Each structure stands twice: as structure tokens, then as C-alpha cells.
Amino acid sequence: MTFPSSGAYVDALQDTRRCFVDPELVGCTIRTDRFGLPRPISGNFASVFTADTAGGRRLAIKCFTRDVPDQQERFREIGAALRDVPARWKVEFRYVETGVLVQGKPYPVLVMEWIEAKQLISWIEDRLRTGDRAALGRLADGFAQLVAGLEAAGLAHGDLQHGNLLVTARGELKLIDYDGMYVPALRDRPAMELGQPNYQHPRRTASDYGPWLDRFSARVIHLSLAALAADPTLWYRLHKSGGEYLLLQKYDLEDPASSPALASLGSVSAQLRTRAQDLADMARKPLDAIAPLDVPAAKQPDGPSKAQSPATNGATLGGGASWLDDHLPPPAPVPLSRPTRTARAAWYGSLLFFGVVAAACAYVIPPVFIGGAVLVAGLPAVTPWWISFLRKPEVNARRARRKAVHAARTQEKQIQAQLRWQLAAREESIATYQRELRALADRRSRIDRDAAAEYARIDRWRDEELAKLVRERTEMQTWKSTELARRTSSVEARHLADELSRHRIDAAQIYGIGRAVVAELETAGIRTAADFTGIRVDRGFGRSTHVRVLHRDGRALKVPMVGEVRARHLEAWRIGLVNRVRVRMPAQLTAAIRAQIDTEAALRQSGITARETAIRSAADVQHKTAHGQTQAQRDSLAADEQSTRSSHNTAIAAIDRDCALHREGVSAAQHRLRQERRALEAYQPVRFRNYLRALTFGRS
Ligand SMILES: Nc1ncnc2c1ncn2[C@@H]1O[C@H](COP(=O)(O)OP(=O)(O)O)[C@@H](O)[C@H]1O
Ligand SMILES: [Mg+2]
């Protein structure tokens, strides 16, 4: 029977009222993609859909894309076998025979609780991004426990690989995809699948089906996780993005001797070299001859009893909680070996010798020296026994334990010191950061201050220049009105002169000015009213007066026959004429003169306006330049701020990572120290006093 493709399931699941019969599934909401179509997660043999039920449960609905003849029975057995396994990695499921109707035909589905978790590869990439190596180490341990738990229950998954391992936000592993699982009830059937080849033993066949089925793939995964915890750069060197593997691929497992990837893993540490070598050896052995993966010492799945051994090599970073140490029963005491009969006989001989020497001494030596004598006799008697005690294997072992305690204490102190140093470095780094932030803030206010000062300078310059122009404009106005007045008065003067020159003195009949006076005036160059501008009468001594006629060229002329009276008449005549001319004087300048003055004023005005425009635009250009410079300074400041912030964050993150590692290191070292002390406690009975007691009484 052919099974529907992923696309056919997508079509069918668009109407969950019609495609499902199961009461929990009818009408459920399937998670869709951006086109609004049901979104499948496609594995090798199935498409998994996320569904929200009316009852508020989130489920994973696994729709199969290949036919497995005895599938229902297999799932029944698998379900029954898993029921009694107390494991947190388990995912509950139920097999629904008439699961989904595709084009009217029923197909089975597997309904599971939906696990909010990440697939292993994306979880690893997240951890590498945050630099959380410790989490990788913990996951490797958790994985070893999971595998040990499976095998302890007599089960095997059959397809251990990244796609079937999900990691929750709490770092807990969930194992999914039980299609190819081995359970004892299925032992007589062939395996349903051979697993993802990048994880499987190169010679795995369908007849390989037993509780040891996962041993090789478990090693591949565990080695990869442990290697990544030790050297995260391996990921970037060995894993290709989108690759269906972690660090090792099918051809690495087929020909381990010439695998560069396996060599890279081995080059990280001596421990990893051994494990990589072990994997290479296992690739040549039959699958069922491979030993199960070791479980981390303090985390044996079958209880804490195995962790009681005072072995020193079991302490891993982050392992060994102190409460666990405190709750362990005290270690079994190491007994002192019983002395042989010969030894005891020799001991009695020594005692006898000592007794005899002591008695002799008491006899011959004054009582005051007896203490010294006993010592003199006692020392040679006891020294050989002290030497023989020191040579005993348990005494040597106790010495080794003491050294181990000392070494553990030294190591713990060193790591504590490193941690303190890291914490001080953290403080220092934060203080430096704050100093840098302050310097940046100062720089920012300096930039702002400089910018404000520059703007003010530009504005001041512009305003001063504009004020000069205002003055120039006022001066220009003054010039214009002065010029108008000047030109007007010169026109008037010319007009007056013209008019006055038409009035001859000889024709004027001025009182007292007859022919003879006219002749005298003509002699002086004065013929018309225009030829003189007035008279001047100066009083001399007594009644004498000096009369002068003011010629138009500025001379003051004494004209014969022109005395004061005649002069005054002459002046009155002229004034009368002037007044008459003034009355009829033309009121305005000619249009031509006005236009001339206006043109000149307009020219000067437009010069001023042009200079004003130039000043304003020069100020604008200066503003723009200043703004550009300030902006460039602000941009470079922002870049410096950004780089300071990010380098601080990177530095602090690195220090925090180191601190976390050192904290784990401290707790591991303390754990080791506690273990060493406990191990030393077991040697309490190994004492010289007890040895002498054993020699004397046969037991200590
Ligand atoms: N219960 C579940 N919760 C969350 N995701 C799941 C669940 N079951 C399957 N998936 C997702 O669907 C993918 C394919 O499922 P799987 O059972 O491995 O199918 P296949 O047998 O085709 O490999 C898984 O890698 C996982 O991402
Ligand atoms: Mg799968």
C-alpha cells in the first residue's frame, strides 16, 4: 500500500472537521505557514504537524509517508515497554489506526504531546553563540545518562541522531521518533530502519536489532558533544550549515584511520584522543561487541552507590554537588594488616631487651637520669618498628592520599585565586567602561559647546556686516537728499542769475541813480542786477561811512558817487527783483536731474543689496560647514560609543564566561577536595599506635 505524500497530507489537513475522526482531533487548529497552509515538519518517513485542540492541548500529529506492515503492533509493544520506564526524556504517544482521511482513505497517525524544544543542532548553535560551553558539557552528561537509562531498561532507539533529540529551554533532552525502537517483545523481528547513516555503525544491517543497537551512534554523539564543550571552534571547522550531522559523517565512520575530522577531535585533548581512537576501533568491531558508554561518575542512573568510590578521576567540571558529598555514608575504614607471628615474636624480643636495659639502668644509674636512660634504650628498641610501619603498603597508600588532599587543596586555592582575579578584572573592566563613558560624555558636550560657539561667531559676523550695510543705506539716503538739495539750489541760483541779468541798471530808473552813477557802476563792471550781490556799509569815525558794492565775483568795490543812500536804493531795487524771481521760481528739478540722482541712488542701493545677499549666503555656507563638521564629529563619537559599548559587552561576556567556568572549576575542585578528604578518612586506623597495639595484642 502506498502512503500519501507530505503534500497530500497538507491538502487533507486544511479541513480538520472532515479529515479527522478521532474526537480529540476533529476541528483542531493546525499551525500554518505564511501562505496559510498546514506546516509540515518533514522527517525521513513522516510529516509532523502541530495541532491545537479544542480542549487546549498542543499536539504533534505524525503522518506516515511510508507503509510499515506491522506498524500498529510494533507501536503497541513499544508503548507497553516504555510505560514502565521512569524517564524524563520520554514523549507520550498514542497510535490512532483511523487517524486521518486523505482523499477518502483512512491512514494511521501517531498523536503525541507537542514538545516546546529545539532540535539539537539549533540548540548547539545557540549555545555556541552565547559561548556557553558548560551547557554543552552538561548536555553530553545528560545524553550519556539517557542512553544508559535506555539500555538499562533493555531498550534501544535505533536512530539516535540530531533530528530525534530535542532540548528544552531548561537544557533537558527529549528523545522522539520511536518508529525503529527495539523492545524485547520485538526481538524476533527485523529492524524497521537502519538509522541516519552519519551516526550509524558502517556495517549495521537489518538483523542488528537488540539492546546494544545504539551503542555506536551514542558514542558518535557523545564524542561530538564532549569535543564541542572542550573546543567550540570544531563546529565551525567540521560542521557545514544545513548538514545532517554534528561533527562526523558517514565516511569518517567508514574509514576512521584517514578521517581528518576524527583527527581534529583527537587533537583537542588526551582524553578526546583516546575516545576518538576507541570510536575508530569500534567501527571495526561487530555492533554487539561494543561496550556501553560510560556514565559520568556522580550521575550513574542506578543511584549514588557507584559514586562512593573515592576515585579522584571521576570529578568533572561542574559535577559533584556538595550536598551529595555530605549525604554519602562514611567510607569503609582501611584496616591495618595484622602483623605476622615472626614479627610479633621479634617485637616481644625488643620489649624484653628494652626491659632488661631499663632494669640495668635503674640499678646502676642514679634515679635522676632514669628518664634519659629509658629514652636511650627505648629509641633503638622502637626505631626499627617505626621503619617497618612506614614501609607498610597501607601507610604508603595513606601518604599518597595525604599528598592527594594537599594537591586538591592547592588546586582549589589556585582556582579560587583565579576566580578572584577574574572578578577583580570584571570590576576593573566595568570601572574602565565607566571612565570611557564619562570621557565620551565630555567629548559630546565639548562638541556641542564648540558648535554653539561657532554658530554664535558666524551670527555675530553676519550681524556686524549687515549693520554696516544699514549704515551705508542711511548714508546713501542722506546723500540722495543732500544731492537733491544741492542740485536744486544750483538750479535756483542759475535761474536767479539769468533773471537778474535781464534787468539793466541804466533801464531801471532807480532813485538817485542817474547816467553819471550808471557810468561809474559800469566802470566798476556792474551793469545788471546780476553783477552784484549786495552792499556793505561800514561806519568810520564820527559820521563818516564807507560804502562798498559787492561784486558777484566777491570783490567789495568802492564806486565813486555811490554813497549810502544810493547804495541802499540800489540794494532795495535788487532785493525787490530777487523776491519777484523767487516767487516765480520753478518748484522742482528737471526730470532728467532727478532721474540721474535716482539712478545713482539705485546703483548704490543695489550694490548694498548685493552685498547683503552675499553676506547672508556666506553666513549660510559657514553655518552648513560648521554643521557638517559637528555632524562628522557626532558621527565619529557615536561610532566610538558603539564600539566602546560592544567591546565592553564582549569583554564582560568573556569574563563572565571565564567566571562561570572558574566557579564550576571551584565547585569541582571543592568536590574533589571533599572526596580526597573522605578517602583519607578511611585511613584513620592506619596509625603507629595501632600498629604497636597490634604487635602487642595481635589486633589493633
Ligand atoms: N512531539 C513532538 N514535539 C515537537 N516536535 C516534534 C515532535 N515529534 C516530532 N517533532 C518534530 O518533527 C520532526 C520529525 O519527526 P520524526 O518523528 O523524527 O519523524 P521521522 O520519523 O520522519 O524522522 C522532528 O525532528 C521534530 O523536529
Ligand atoms: Mg526522526
Q: Mind giving me the DSSP string for 565-592? A: HHHHHHHHHHHHHHHHHHHT--SS--HH
Final residue belonging to a domain, choices 54, 86, 113: 113
- Alpha-carbon distance 228 to 328, whole Å? 32
- Can you give the pLDDT at residue 84? 82
Q: Which residue has the cell 636511650?
A: 376
Residue 430 pLDDT grade (very low, low, confident, very high; cuts 50, 70, 90): confident
Least confident piece of the model among 20-29, 160-169, 375-384, 470-479: 375-384
| 700 residue type, one letter | S
- Can you give the pLDDT at residue 319? 37
pLDDT exceeds 80 at position 96: yes
177: CA distance to ligand 1 center in Å? 6
396: CA distance to ligand 1 center in Å? 57
C-alpha cell at 128: 555556541
State whether the beta carbon of 158 lies less than 6 angstroms from ligand 1. no
CATH code for the domain in which residue 153 is found: 1.10.510.10
Q: Are 59 and 153 contained in the same domain?
A: no
165: CA distance to ligand 1 center in Å? 9
Residue nearest to atom 20 of ligand 1 (CA): 43
234: CA distance to ligand 1 center in Å? 27
State whether the beta carbon of 162 lies less than 6 angstroms from ligand 1. no
The secondary structure of 406-442, three-state, reads HHHHHHHHHHHHHHHHHHHHHHHHHHHHHHHHHHHHH
State whether the beta carbon of 68 lies less than 6 angstroms from ligand 1. no
Least confident piece of the model among 193-197, 383-387, 648-652: 648-652
Least confident piece of the model among 314-318, 490-494, 496-500, 572-576: 314-318
Q: Are 535 and 658 contained in the same domain?
A: yes
State whether the beta carbon of 44 lies less than 6 angstroms from ligand 1. yes
C-alpha cell at 480: 540722495
Residue 323 located in a structural domain: no
- Can you give the pLDDT at residue 10? 95
59: CA distance to ligand 1 center in Å? 11
- Can you give the pLDDT at residue 583? 85
Q: Are 383 and 420 contained in the same domain?
A: no
42, 49, 62, best to mutate for ligand 1 pocket (most atoms within 8 Å of CB): 62
- Can you give the pLDDT at residue 300? 43
Nearest bound ligand to the CA of residue 174:
1
Mean pLDDT, range 580-588, rounded to an integer: 78
Nearest bound ligand to the CA of residue 177:
1
State whether the beta carbon of 45 lies less than 6 angstroms from ligand 1. yes
Q: Are 146 and 246 contained in the same domain?
A: yes
Q: Are 46 and 186 contained in the same domain?
A: no
Which residue range is the domain that position 369 belongs to? 341-391
Query: Residue 556 forms beta bridges with which residues?
Result: 550
Residue 306 located in a structural domain: no
Residue 543 located in a structural domain: yes
The count of other CB atoms within 10 Å of the CB of residue 588 is 10
Residue 335 located in a structural domain: no
Between residues 690 and 315, which one has the greater pLDDT? 690
State whether the beta carbon of 60 lies less than 6 angstroms from ligand 1. yes
- Can you give the pLDDT at residue 328? 62
CATH code for the domain in which residue 44 is found: 3.30.200.20
C-alpha angle with apex 369: 363 to 374, nearest 5 degrees? 75
Of ligand 1's listed atoms, the one at least distance from the Cα of 112 is: 1
Residue 458 pLDDT grade (very low, low, confident, very high; cuts 50, 70, 90): very high
What are the tens digits of pLDDT across the range 471-497? Answer: 999 999 999 999 888 888 888 888 889
Mean pLDDT, range 443-472, rounded to an integer: 94
Q: Are 403 and 378 contained in the same domain?
A: no
State whether the beta carbon of 163 lies less than 6 angstroms from ligand 1. yes
State whether the beta carbon of 112 lies less than 6 angstroms from ligand 1. yes
165: CA distance to ligand 2 center in Å? 9
State whether the beta carbon of 430 lies less than 6 angstroms from ligand 1. no
Residue nearest to atom 19 of ligand 1 (CA): 43
Contacts of range 615-622, beta carbons closer than 8 Å, 24 or more positions apart: 615/462, 615/465, 615/466, 615/469, 616/462, 616/466, 618/462, 619/458, 619/459, 619/461, 619/462, 622/458, 622/461
Q: Are 104 and 157 contained in the same domain?
A: no
- Can you give the pLDDT at residue 662? 81
pLDDT exceeds 50 at position 304: no
State whether the beta carbon of 397 lies less than 6 angstroms from ligand 1. no
- Can you give the pLDDT at residue 588? 67
176, 181, 244, best to mutate for ligand 1 pocket (most atoms within 8 Å of CB): 176
Q: Are 130 and 81 contained in the same domain?
A: no
175: CA distance to ligand 2 center in Å? 10
Nearest to 650 by CA among 129, 222, 134, 240: 129
Angle at which helix 591-681 crosses helix 133-152, to 10 degrees, equals 40
C-alpha angle with apex 657: 656 to 658, nearest 5 degrees? 90
161: CA distance to ligand 1 center in Å? 12
- Can you give the pLDDT at residue 327? 54
Residue 631 pLDDT grade (very low, low, confident, very high; cuts 50, 70, 90): very high
- Can you give the pLDDT at residue 657? 83
What are the tens digits of pLDDT across the range 245-289? Answer: 999 999 999 999 889 899 999 988 999 999 999 999 999 999 888
236: CA distance to ligand 2 center in Å? 25
Residue nearest to atom 16 of ligand 1 (CA): 177
- Can you give the pLDDT at residue 313? 31
Q: Are 543 and 614 contained in the same domain?
A: yes
Q: Any idea what DSSP says for residue 288? A: G
Share of the chain above pLDDT 90, in %: 60
Q: Where is 608: in which H helix or E strand?
A: helix 591-681
Residue 416 located in a structural domain: yes
Which residues, other chains included, contact 647 with Cβ-Cβ below 8 Å and sequence gap of 6+?
A: none
Q: What phi and psi, each to the nearest 5 degrees, are found at residue 391?
A: -85, -5
Between residues 385 and 296, which one has the greater pLDDT? 385
- Can you give the pLDDT at residue 309? 32
9 and 49 Cβ atoms separated by less than 8 Å: yes
Between residues 295 and 573, which one has the greater pLDDT? 573
Nearest bound ligand to the CA of residue 119:
1
Final residue belonging to a domain, choices 63, 87, 113: 113
25 and 51 Cβ atoms separated by less than 8 Å: yes
Residue 302 located in a structural domain: no
Q: Are 355 and 432 contained in the same domain?
A: no
Between residues 540 and 209, which one has the greater pLDDT? 209
- Can you give the pLDDT at residue 219? 97
What are the tens digits of pLDDT across the range 217-229? Answer: 999 999 999 999 9
pLDDT exceeds 90 at position 568: yes
pLDDT exceeds 70 at position 302: no
Q: Where is 665: in which H helix or E strand?
A: helix 591-681
pLDDT exceeds 70 at position 301: no
Which residues, other chains included, contact 275 with Cβ-Cβ below 8 Å and sequence gap of 6+?
A: 219, 223, 226, 265
State whether the beta carbon of 593 lies less than 6 angstroms from ligand 1. no
pLDDT exceeds 50 at position 644: yes
C-alpha pair distances (Å), 566 with each of 516, 522, 535, 559, 578: 12, 15, 10, 11, 18
281 and 633 Cβ atoms separated by less than 8 Å: no
- Can you give the pLDDT at residue 602? 92
Q: Which residue has the cell 565630555?
A: 442
6 and 65 Cβ atoms separated by less than 8 Å: yes
Nearest bound ligand to the CA of residue 160:
2
Mean pLDDT, range 33-38, rounded to an integer: 90
Least confident piece of the model among 322-336, 356-370, 432-446, 574-588: 322-336
Residue nearest to atom 10 of ligand 1 (CA): 48
Q: Any idea what DSSP says for residue 320? A: -
C-alpha cell at 29: 487548529
Q: Which residues surround ligand 2, an ion (CB under 5 A)?
A: 43, 163-164, 177
State whether the beta carbon of 667 lies less than 6 angstroms from ligand 1. no
- Alpha-carbon distance 117 to 99, whole Å? 25
C-alpha cell at 675: 572526596
Nearest bound ligand to the CA of residue 120:
1
pLDDT exceeds 80 at position 202: yes
What are the tens digits of pLDDT across the range 431-443? Answer: 888 888 899 999 9
- Alpha-carbon distance 491 to 347, whole Å? 160
Residue 665 pLDDT grade (very low, low, confident, very high; cuts 50, 70, 90): confident
Coil/strand/helix, residue 303: coil
6 and 40 Cβ atoms separated by less than 8 Å: yes
Produce one character per residue of 397-426: b if its CB has 16 or more CB atoms within 10 Å, e if not.
ebeebeebbeebbebbeebeebbeebeebb
272: CA distance to ligand 2 center in Å? 28
What are the tens digits of pLDDT across the range 65-79? Answer: 998 889 999 999 999
- Can you give the pLDDT at residue 587? 58
pLDDT exceeds 50 at position 320: no
Q: Are 386 and 445 contained in the same domain?
A: no
Query: Residue 113 forms beta bridges with which residues?
Result: 59
- Alpha-carbon distance 550 to 531, whole Å? 9
Helices and strands: H and E segment counts in the chain? 18, 12
Share of the chain above pLDDT 70, in %: 95
48: CA distance to ligand 1 center in Å? 6
How many structural domains are present in the chain?
4
State whether the beta carbon of 181 lies less than 6 angstroms from ligand 1. no
What are the tens digits of pLDDT across the range 359-398? Answer: 887 788 777 777 777 777 778 778 888 999 999 889 999 9
Nearest to 44 by CA among 70, 76, 68, 74: 68
Nearest bound ligand to the CA of residue 48:
1
- Can you give the pLDDT at residue 307? 33
Q: Are 350 and 497 contained in the same domain?
A: no
Final residue belonging to a domain, choices 113, 140, 159: 113
Residue nearest to atom 1 of ligand 1 (CA): 114
Between residues 332 and 125, which one has the greater pLDDT? 125
Residue 648 located in a structural domain: yes
Residue 325 located in a structural domain: no
Q: What is the mean pLDDT of the chain?
A: 88
